[in-house]
Structure 1
Amino acid sequence: MQGFMFRSVIRGFRTSCGLDSRIKRRHTHKPFWQIKKSNQVPNEPLTFENKAWIAGLSPLKEEFAPWERQNWERSSIRSGIIAQKIGLAPLWTKSGVRIMSTLLQVKDNHVVRYIPAEEYASTHVGEKIKAPKGITDTPRGLNPVLVVGADSRDPSTFTKGYCGLFNGSGVSPKRILSRFIVSPNAILKPGTPLYASHFQVGAYVDVRGTGIRRGFQGVMKRWGFHGMPSDNRGATKTHRRPGSIGSGCQKSRVWPGQKLPGLMGGNKMIMPALQILRINHKEGVLYVTGQGIPGNTGDFVQVFDTRHPVKSLKESPKFFPTCITDDLDYLPDEEYADHIHRFDDDSIVFQ
């Protein structure tokens, strides 16, 4: 009787919390708490002069003044940025080795909201997130959270509820929103702009994105199955089928995690420890190593300091917690890593 009651309580808990009892769970549906984003564009009789006047307004309601900077520590966690994947480009080292790099453009990034650790702890649902070493004054082991937005759009294309998310920051509505967990000494004031200069050349970053969606695929393409025999052995209509998945009294069911046909791709993936080879500060473009960053060209990804134990930051970055507008005056248009050949330098010199 007690076992039956326990199973009933667990079943009710799963139903109320919306948790899946299976091993694998695809997050292809939108969460229940997400606010409706898109809105039908109204037919407003705006003239070209009115549109030009609205576009010329500053997104900030008042004169912006950033919060006071704090000192960097070994356990500090900075905020990340949202970048758009715009293509691939080759780079060469000074010894002549060719390296393929992915171009990530930082477009109109602003801090939308700052969530203190106390508020985040009261709303956090899921596994407890451990705080890094040296940070013990946060409740439940949680750190503050920064909500970052990118790619400003016309407010009339969004719903009223979605536009209300940006009232406190004073910035125009963003099309893309992401959340970054930071340490207490790396918090930023809402409305703070984020640039590609947030990082420095030679540093390593982690890139998180959504893989390309392949749709509903069979087991041969999805899992790499060999397939059934060909026609010359007498097999018919079973060439790309999975075959038997087991039977008998010990199994007699489909086990959770069984490799079967289904939706392929569209999963969240992280490419760890990618080195920044070149930064174009004028256009806000990062050149990172590799060409396997998840997503199609034009998709948005999250870029943040790597968590790799060997390649993470060992000393304070050039700008902490981020690069402000006044710091841009002292930066060149482009920066290269020490081992990367600059295109404006001589490649061969005859004496």
Structure 2
Amino acid sequence: MINGLLGKKIGMSQTYAADGRRIPVTVIEAGPCTVLQLKTVGTDGYDAAQLGFGVKSAHRVNKPEMGHFKKAGQGAFAFVREFQTAGTCAVGDQFSCDIFKPGDRIDVTATSKGKGFQGVIKRWGFSGGRASHGSMFKRRTGSIGQSATPARVVKGKKMPGQMGNQRTTTQNLVVVDVRPEQNLILVCGAVPGPKNGLVEIRKGIKA
């Protein structure tokens, strides 16, 4: 058995609990994922399974990649990632969202939405200065260094810059519902990334 899957973020929706509560959820298409290669301690130094997800046209795959995919016998894949294994599986095996069940805690990793170059108020939540009487300090950064000691800007200072578009993991999201016939997982919580973006779903390390 593996500890995670690849999937695609579909978007937001809502569902209802048994007691009538309305629960906002993020819908994820999780799997089916095919085992392409097995990594072992003896040959690679660790145990893992390489999974393929998403259909890719064969004419867009080079010969070395296609030779690698042919071992599984399931065509070409758009995305390939590794996941830890616990137990036995074989090349060509397929896993779907039924490895999770309602109530499970999961960690979801994806590339967050890119928001471009942003100032400190949007990027870091600075409060800014007065907006009246010509202060010229409404949305500026403010003082960033020292005059004599150490006479430089300290590394790691919160400054304007690129916001988003980076690998992000949201931990301890709750699986509300699993629909194997549609390969869908309904998750309570904010999943990083845009609609139709690739997500990596793993069993929560803090669960």
Q: TM-score, normalised by structure 1?
A: 0.55
Identify the residue that residue 196 of structure 2 maps to in structure 1.
Answer: 298
Identify the residue that residue 144 of structure 2 maps to in structure 1.
Answer: 245
Identify the residue that residue 115 of structure 2 maps to in structure 1.
Answer: 214
**Aligned residues between the structures:** 207
Identify the residue that residue 95 of structure 2 maps to in structure 1.
Answer: 194
Given that 1:85 and 1:103 are in contact with CA atoms closer than 8 Å, whether structure 2 keeps it comes out as: yes
Q: TM-score, normalised by structure 2?
A: 0.89
Given that 1:146 and 1:187 are in contact with CA atoms closer than 8 Å, whether structure 2 keeps it comes out as: no
Identify the residue that residue 145 of structure 1 maps to in structure 2.
Answer: 48
1:235 aligns with 2:138: no
Q: Give the greater-gyration-radius structure (CA).
A: 1
C-alpha distance in structure 2 between counterparts of 1:161 and 1:218, whole Å: 45
C-alpha distance in structure 1 between counterparts of 2:144 and 2:34, whole Å: 51
Identify the residue that residue 91 of structure 1 maps to in structure 2.
Answer: 15
C-alpha distance in structure 2 between counterparts of 1:234 and 1:201, whole Å: 56
Identify the residue that residue 176 of structure 1 maps to in structure 2.
Answer: 79
SS across alignment from 1:254: coil
Q: Deviations 1:56-102 (Å, cap 9, x if unpaired)?
A: xxxxxxxxxxxxxxxxxxxxx83311111112221222222111111
Given that 1:108 and 1:152 are in contact with CA atoms closer than 8 Å, whether structure 2 keeps it comes out as: no
1:235 deviation in Å? 2.7
- Greater per-residue strand proportion: 2
Given that 1:79 and 1:146 are in contact with CA atoms closer than 8 Å, whether structure 2 keeps it comes out as: no
SS across alignment from 2:115: strand
C-alpha distance in structure 1 between counterparts of 2:168 and 2:76, whole Å: 27
C-alpha distance in structure 1 between counterparts of 2:166 and 2:72, whole Å: 31
SS across alignment from 1:213: coil
C-alpha distance in structure 1 between counterparts of 2:25 and 2:70, whole Å: 38
Q: Percent same amino acid at aligned positions? A: 26
Pairwise mapping of residues 2-21 of structure 1 onto structure 2 (< 5 A)?
none
Call closer, same or farther: CA 1:204–1:224 in 2, change over 3 Å. Answer: closer
C-alpha distance in structure 1 between counterparts of 2:179 and 2:188, whole Å: 15
- Greater per-residue helix proportion: 1
SS across alignment from 1:260: coil
Letter in 1 for 2:106: V
Return 5+ residue gaps in structure 2 as ranges. none
Given that 2:12 and 2:27 are in contact with CA atoms closer than 8 Å, whether structure 1 keeps it comes out as: yes
Identify the residue that residue 120 of structure 1 maps to in structure 2.
Answer: 44
